[in-house]
Amino acid sequence: MNLELTREYISELRAIIEARDDKAALAMMNDLHPADIAEIYQELNIDEVKYLYMILDPKVASDVLVELEEDDREQFLRALPAEEIASQFINNMDSDDAADVIADLDDLVKQEVLKHIKDIEQAGDIVDLLSYDEHSAGGLMAKELIKVNENWSLTTCLREMRKQAEEVDDLFYIYVVNDDNILTGVVSLKSLLIATGSTIIKDIYDKEVRFVRTDTSSEEVAQIMEKYDLVALPVVDSIGRLLGRITIDDIVDVIRDEAEKDYQMASGISSDVETTDSPLRLSRARLPWLIIGLVGGVLVAALISQFEGDIKLNPEMAFFIPLIAAMAGNVGIQSSAIIVQGLASNSLGLESTFRKLVKEFFVAIMNGLILSLLLLAYNLIMQQGLALTYTVSISLFVVIIFAAIFGTMIPLFLDKMTLDPALATGPFITTTNDIMGLFIYFLMGRILYDAFAVI
């Protein structure tokens, strides 16, 4: 049932494509879901893909186009005339998919394609959708939905639904509107099943309907659908008129993209990339963070150079530089990761910033004590010099507390400034904490070596 994509399958298909054997090629893709065909396309070159598009049923080919990665789709569409894009693909798509595909085209081609859409209503829908920000409910919604008037009887309702159902792929909820197209409620398929023909919709529909406005952010849409376990969410304009609906499959993508973005930022990768991208693109996505790291490293070097005399006298101070730097970075990242995730999933609750800081402070004291004592025991056993032993343990403790407080405050501060808190993770926080941590370490070293020298 589920396609297992194998090397053998791909090479067989390639051989068939080379032989231009339409029938055999179609047979190999028979019964495959468009998402499977899209996966196959990613293993083929552009000429092979073009050939397969030509022989596929246009409806299937359109579905495959929607499932393709953005880059592959752009590359493929660039080779086609606008008229063909409109008649072969856009005509067969839902309004939201069509708008997504058209939004990625160059401005000139975009206008051309829109002109060539035969169905004026569809073209109008697409133009409407293109006007919304792609990260808003308006940009996520499809115009296709099933709606009924609250004054209809069940019989009228079923008749009208049959008409509308031809345009809509999945039927989840039936929305209820009044004569002005204002959303007033929702009626479940279940209650339609149970009701009899003469029932009036008004008497059975549920007035408690959750909805969003076109300008609601995609993150908020995701939070609402996730929290209330919805598979579709209606979208209204500022006066409450029903404009479209967002389905869960689009929201699953939003959730995954958001989680991946935070993870990539924490790992120092600045834009959305995948292993299948080109080396140049992979390199570009990573270089900015690495340069920040490099600049940070140079600043740290300048800081340490202020303590050159200390190192010359006590070269063993240098042994623990990586330990202090790494622990400062690790603790800072741990604290910030918790905050960034809490902000992303909106699960921070009402607990005040102050309480969060107090809590992080306690965690830091506990972990700091345990780790410093472990290190103290190790250094005493290894018979390191006492000055070094105490310098390392005491500064580790202080550094852990500072790093935890920084790690908590920086993302909260960025969020208050309406910046992405995930900026606080990755090389940025590591570098800040390195500088702070090593300054504390060398300062503590100077004080304690002097103190032990006196003793």
Please list every residue from 267 through 326 that binds its own copies, using CB under 8 A.
Answer: 267-269, 273-276, 279-280, 282-283, 286-287, 289-291, 293-294, 296-298, 300-302, 304-305, 308, 311-312, 315-326
User: Which of 132, 399, 434, 439 is close enough to bind its own copies by CB under 8 A?
Assistant: 434
User: Which of 114, 126, 141, 339 is close enough to bind its own copies by CB under 8 A?
Assistant: 339
Smallest gap from residue 85 Cβ to its own copies (A): 23
CB of 113 or CB of 221, closer to its own copies? 221
| Residue numbers 238-267 binding its own copies by CB under 8 A | 248-249, 251-252, 255-256, 259-260, 262-264, 266-267
Smallest gap from residue 108 Cβ to its own copies (A): 32
User: Which of 329, 401, 409, 440 is close enough to bind its own copies by CB under 8 A?
Assistant: 329
| Residue numbers 196-235 binding its own copies by CB under 8 A | 208-211, 224-229, 231
Tell me the C-alpha distance between 320 and 367, whole Å: 19
CB of 87 or CB of 384, closer to its own copies? 384
Smallest gap from residue 81 Cβ to its own copies (A): 30
- SS3 letters across the chain: CCCCCCHHHHHHHHHHHHCCCHHHHHHHHCCCCHHHHHHHHCCCCHHHHHHHHHHCCHHHHHHHHHHCCHHHHHHHHHCCCHHHHHHHHHHHCCHHHHHHHHHCCCHHHHHHHHHHCCCHHHHHHHHHHHCCCCCEHHHHCECCCCEEECCCEHHHHHHHHHHHHCCCCCCCEEEEECCCCEEEEEEEHHHHHHCCCCCEHHHHCECCCCCEECCCEHHHHHHHHHHCCCCEEEEECCCCEEEEEEEHHHHHHHHHHHHHHHHHHHCCCCCCCCCCCCHHHHHHHHHHHHHHHHHHHHHHHHHHHCCHHHHHHCHHHHHHHHHHHHHHHHHHHHHHHHHHHHHHCCCCCCCCHHHHHHHHHHHHHHHHHHHHHHHHHHHHHCCCCHHHHHHHHHHHHHHHHHHHHHHHHHHHHHHHCCCCHHHHCCHHHHHHHHHHHHHHHHHHHHHHHHHHHHC
CB of 139 or CB of 329, closer to its own copies? 329
Contact window for its own copies (CB under 8 A) among 80-88, 107-115, 124-132, 371-379: 371-379
User: Which of 80, 130, 371, 376 is close enough to bind its own copies by CB under 8 A?
Assistant: 371
Is 94 a binding residue for its own copies by CB under 8 A? The answer is: no
CB of 82 or CB of 392, closer to its own copies? 392
Is 370 a binding residue for its own copies by CB under 8 A? The answer is: yes
Smallest gap from residue 117 Cβ to its own copies (A): 24
Would strands 183-188 and 173-177 be described as parallel, antiparallel, or unpaired? antiparallel
Instruction: State the burial class of residue 404 (Cβ atoms within 10 Å of its Cβ: 0-12, 13-18, 19+).
Output: buried
| Residue numbers 97-136 binding its own copies by CB under 8 A | none
Is 387 a binding residue for its own copies by CB under 8 A? The answer is: no
User: Which of 4, 108, 120, 193 is close enough to bind its own copies by CB under 8 A?
Assistant: 193
Smallest gap from residue 62 Cβ to its own copies (A): 15
Tell me the C-alpha distance between 171 and 164, whole Å: 10
Smallest gap from residue 311 Cβ to its own copies (A): 4
Q: How many residues bind its own copies (CB under 8 A)?
A: 123
| Residue numbers 391-410 binding its own copies by CB under 8 A | none
Say which amino acid occupies 385.
Answer: G
The string over 39-53, giving b where at least 16 C-beta atoms fall within 10 Å of a residue's C-beta and e elsewhere, is bbbebbeeebbebbb
Is 413 a binding residue for its own copies by CB under 8 A? The answer is: no
Smallest gap from residue 380 Cβ to its own copies (A): 13
Q: Alpha carbon of 66 to those of 57, 61, 265, 394: distances in Å?
A: 15, 9, 27, 59
Look up residue 57 and give its two tokens.
């049923």
CB of 28 or CB of 273, closer to its own copies? 273
| Residue numbers 2-61 binding its own copies by CB under 8 A | 2, 5, 7, 10, 31, 33, 35, 39, 42-43
User: Which of 4, 180, 349, 454 is close enough to bind its own copies by CB under 8 A?
Assistant: 349
Tell me the C-alpha distance between 112 and 86, whole Å: 9
| Residue numbers 146-165 binding its own copies by CB under 8 A | 158, 161-162, 165
CB of 33 or CB of 116, closer to its own copies? 33
Smallest gap from residue 127 Cβ to its own copies (A): 25
Say which amino acid occupies 362.
Answer: F
User: Which of 194, 377, 386, 419 is close enough to bind its own copies by CB under 8 A?
Assistant: 194
User: Which of 77, 145, 337, 448 is close enough to bind its own copies by CB under 8 A?
Assistant: 337
